[in-house]
Structure 1
Amino acid sequence: MKAINEVYDTIQKLLESDKTAYQSEKETGVSRAKIGRLKNGKNNIDNLSLASAKVLYEYTKAHLNE
């Protein structure tokens, strides 16, 4: 359970960052619509496919690691 919480927290960090959905799409390949819905709270991280969650997690770890 600890590992999944890290994934959620890391993706949440991306969603709360100043990166736009457009920037995130260009850098990850995850659609801007999907990222926008996550940022706006219309969808939540629970509904991401494993593939999308993996890409967003790895991207955030590599580029927004503070």
Structure 2
Amino acid sequence: MPYINIRVTDEEVTAEQKGQLIAGATQLVVDVLKKNPQTTHVVIDEVPIENWGVNGKQYLGAKK
């Protein structure tokens, strides 16, 4: 049973975008690993932007 965890910053990711991520990630494991999509689980975690870092620095992107 594949388990896919996607982490994104909490910068207004829409439900439609999340649906596209879930569908795309599921299709990828079906195509590459020949896994059953009915047993493939995808979880999207939204991380507060202030808890994200890049290049050794706290990332403070375009959060409203």
TM-score bucket of the superposed structures, by smaller chain: 0.3 to 0.5
Higher helix share: 1
Q: Please identify the structure whose Cα radius of gyration is greater.
A: 2
Report the TM-score, using the length of structure 1 for normalisation: 0.32
Report the TM-score, using the length of structure 2 for normalisation: 0.33
